[in-house]
Amino acid sequence: MELSYYISVFFHFIFGAFWIGGMLFLPLVLLPSIKNHPNRILLLQQTGIKFRFFGWIALIGLAITGILNMYLRGLPLSWDFILQSNYGNLLQIKMVLFILMMLIGVLHDFYIGTKSIEEMKAVNNGKFKQLARWSGRINLLLAFAIAFIGIVLSRGGF
């Protein structure tokens, strides 16, 4: 393998660690820390917007380095490979989960999260707050599944 492959894998790992780490930071560190803070909603909103910016950079980076990793590893970038090999089938599952995670992320970041903040500002803990929690949890579980499949693929697949 060439150095460029290892650099690409390194960045793929860093982007994934940032994405998963950020999703764990918010509910495990930030929310408990600001639970009784008088500006809790504002802090949550500002942190969410900041993470959204860098989170999407990480997701775009994951997509780019994922494709680059395949190319640099010498894997065929063809539908035949993806649809007809065991490795390709596992890669296909990873790609579908990644696309699903991105779609849920778009909904969470640009609609549900905004509506949730509006509800909290109105002192109304309604359905959007619950949707924001659940969409975040589902995305975290998808991220864990994607990372696990990535580890399996990096070790040669099943």
Q: Where are the domains of the chain?
A: 3-154
In contact, 70 and 1? CB cutoff 8 Å: no
Q: Which helix (H) or strand (E) holds 125?
A: none
Digit-coded pLDDT (tens) for 130-151: 999 999 999 999 999 999 999 9
pTM for this predicted structure: 0.91
pLDDT for 155 equals 87
Digit-coded pLDDT (tens) for 20-64: 999 999 999 999 999 999 999 999 999 999 999 999 999 999 999
Within the chain, residue ranges assigned H as helices are 3-25, 31-33, 40-73, 79-84, 86-107, 113-121, 127-154
Report percent pLDDT > 70 for the chain: 98
- Angle CA 44–59–87, to nearest 5: 140
Cα-based distances in Å from 84 to 6, 65, 79: 27, 23, 8
Structure tokens at 139: 């995305």
